Each structure stands twice: as C-alpha cells, then as structure tokens.
C-alpha cells in the first residue's frame, strides 16, 4: 500500500539527549514536511524539503535538524537545544504542483515525551 510511515509511535527523551524521528513515504512525492502539534492547538511547520539534498526552515525550526538524502526519507532530529519538545510530531508529503503543496498526505504521527 502507498503511504507515509512514521516511527516510533511513542518516543521518550531524557534531558540532554538527541532523538531522531523517522518518516518514510512510497508515494513518489517530491515534497516532505515536519509539523509539531501541541495539545488543543493547530499544526506548526518545523522544516520542509522540496527536493533531495535541500530543505528550508519553517516557523519553529530552532532546536530541530533534518536531512533529505533520499526522496523517500525525511528524518527529524530533536536536539537537546529544544527545551520543550513534548508534542505530537506529524510528517507529511505532497506533489509540488507549481511550487505549492497540493493535497498533503500525513503519516500517523509520533508522540514525544520528556522523562
């Protein structure tokens, strides 16, 4: 089946630890995105990538890093610099029609908790 997978479903981080969230898609989409969702809130964009080996900061990139070495994969690292990382993290992908993301498809999400 075509879709987006995220792992793990739940992730626990200790103080000062870097953790990496996985996102894989087999939809052959060019663009991929990472969003953060806090309880009762909307989604905020962390990073996005339109092509392999290129990515741009979103609205809340501080304390996060990404890579895009393969079209199918867009991992997100939550660094120790992110002081309030507890949130629900969603990965998405889309075709990149005319420079705008159409029909974004979302993965099931990863819930990150700080111990």
Partner 1 sequence: GIQVEQSPPDLILQEGANSTLRCNFSDSVNNLQWFHQNPWGQLINLFYIPSGTKQNGRLSATTVATERYSLLYISSSQTTDSGVYFCAVGKKAAGNKLTFGGGTRVLVKP
Contact call for residue 108 and partner 1 (CB under 8 A): yes
Q: How far is the CB of 92 from partner 1 (least distance, A)?
A: 8
Question: Is the Cβ of residue 18 or residue 62 nearer to partner 1 in the bound state?
Answer: 62
**CA–CA gap between residue 28 and residue 86 (Å, rounded):** 30
Closest C-alpha to 113, from 46, 43, 39: 39
Q: Compute the residue count for the chain.
A: 115
Question: Is the Cβ of residue 60 or residue 80 nearer to partner 1 in the bound state?
Answer: 60
Q: How far is the CB of 111 from partner 1 (least distance, A)?
A: 8
Binding mask 49-88 for partner 1 (x = CB under 8 A): -x-----x-xx----------------------------x
34 with 76: CB under 8 angstroms? Answer: yes
Q: How far is the CB of 49 from partner 1 (least distance, A)?
A: 10
Closest C-alpha to 85, from 112, 60, 61: 112
**CA–CA gap between residue 46 and residue 32 (Å, rounded):** 11
Which tokens belong to 87? 């949130």
Enumerate binding residues for partner 1 (CB under 8 A).
Answer: 31, 33, 35, 41-45, 48, 50, 56, 58-59, 88, 90, 92, 96, 98-106, 108-109
């Amino acid at each position: 089946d075509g879709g987006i997978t995220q792992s793990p479903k739940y992730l626990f981080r200790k103080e000062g630890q870097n953790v990496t969230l996985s996102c894989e898609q087999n939809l052959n989409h060019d663009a991929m995105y990472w969003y953060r969702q806090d309880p009762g809130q909307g989604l905020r964009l962390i990073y996005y990538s339109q092509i392999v080996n290129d990515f741009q900061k979103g609205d809340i990139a501080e304390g996060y890093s990404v890579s895009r070495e393969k079209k199918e994969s867009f991992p997100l690292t939550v660094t120790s610099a992110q002081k309030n990382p507890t949130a629900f993290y969603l990965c998405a992908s889309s075709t990149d029609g005319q420079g705008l993301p159409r029909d974004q498809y979302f993965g099931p999400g990863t819930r990150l908790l700080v111990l």
